[in-house]
Chains A and B, each alone.
Chain A
Amino acid sequence: SQQGEEDPQALSIQEGENATMNCSYKTSINNLQWYRQNSGRGLVHLILIRSNEREKHSGRLRVTLDTSKKSSSLLITASRAADTASYFCATTRSNDYKLSFGAGTTVTVRA
């Protein structure tokens, strides 16, 4: 069963704008990760945030984690055409370290 659920399912933005997507999950987690998938390709790890962290940055990416709400957000600032991809959150459950993926958010960046 899916632990993480992304929202929105799809997002279309203009180049240069920011893109925000959210992930909600159900059970206690050890960490939460975000992955990117370009069309027809394998997933690429973007960033990992641990359960005791609230915010993390990597380049143009900013991830927040609110364990009280069981939710996370991924912000991509100053988007580029190359950011067009699907983005997945993946949660690692605390009790058994099971890793589960959500269904993803498809982001389209228009030139």
Chain B
Amino acid sequence: EAQVTQNPRYLITVTGKKLTVTCSQNMNHEYMSWYRQDPGLGLRQIYYSMNVEVTDKGDVPEGYKVSRKEKRNFPLILESPSPNQTSLYFCASSINRGKTGELFFGEGSRLTVL
């Protein structure tokens, strides 16, 4: 089954404790992206990757890091989480960026930073 898998789905952590949210897709998609969703703000892009070893900042990259060492995986790293990073995070993938368009989303990771 074609899917984007995120882990963990729920996480409560404390300020400053490094964490990684994993994302894996099984559709051989070139394009992967991370979004955060906050009430009233819709989805805002954090980072995206056009292909292996190619990553770029989205609209709200501060406080986040990513890597794309393999085509299927695109982890999101919070080196020193702060309470303003409490949010619902989504990973998404696509065959390519924009031209065919359809994004496939994971089920989301709800992060709370105390």
**Chain A residues near B (Cβ < 8 Å):** 1-2, 30-31, 33, 35, 40-45, 48, 88, 90, 92-93, 97-104
**Chain B residues near A (Cβ < 8 Å):** 4, 35, 40-45, 59, 90, 92, 97-99, 101-108
User: In the complex, which of the residues A31, A43, A88 contacts B101, with contact meaning CB atoms closer than 8 Å?
Assistant: A31
SS class, residues of chain A in contact with chain B? strand
Q: Given contacts A1-B59, A41-B107, A42-B107, are A101 and B43 in contact (CB under 8 A)?
A: yes
Which A residue sits closest to B33, measured CB to CB?
Answer: A99
Q: Is the CB of B106 within 8 A of A33?
A: no
**Measured CA separation A45–B43 after assembly (Å):** 14
Q: Is the CB of A48 within 8 A of B102?
A: yes
SS class, residues of chain B in contact with chain A? loop
A30-B99, A93-B98 are known; give 13 further A-B pairs, CB within 8 A.
A1-B59, A33-B102, A35-B103, A41-B108, A43-B90, A48-B102, A88-B42, A92-B98, A92-B101, A97-B99, A99-B101, A101-B35, A103-B42
Q: Is the CB of B90 within 8 A of A104?
A: no
Q: Is the CB of A40 within 8 A of B108?
A: yes
**Measured CA separation A99–B32 after assembly (Å):** 12
Q: Is the CB of A99 within 8 A of B98?
A: yes
Q: 8 tightest CB-CB pairs across the interface, nearest first?
A: A97-B98, A42-B105, A103-B42, A101-B43, A92-B98, A43-B105, A45-B102, A101-B42
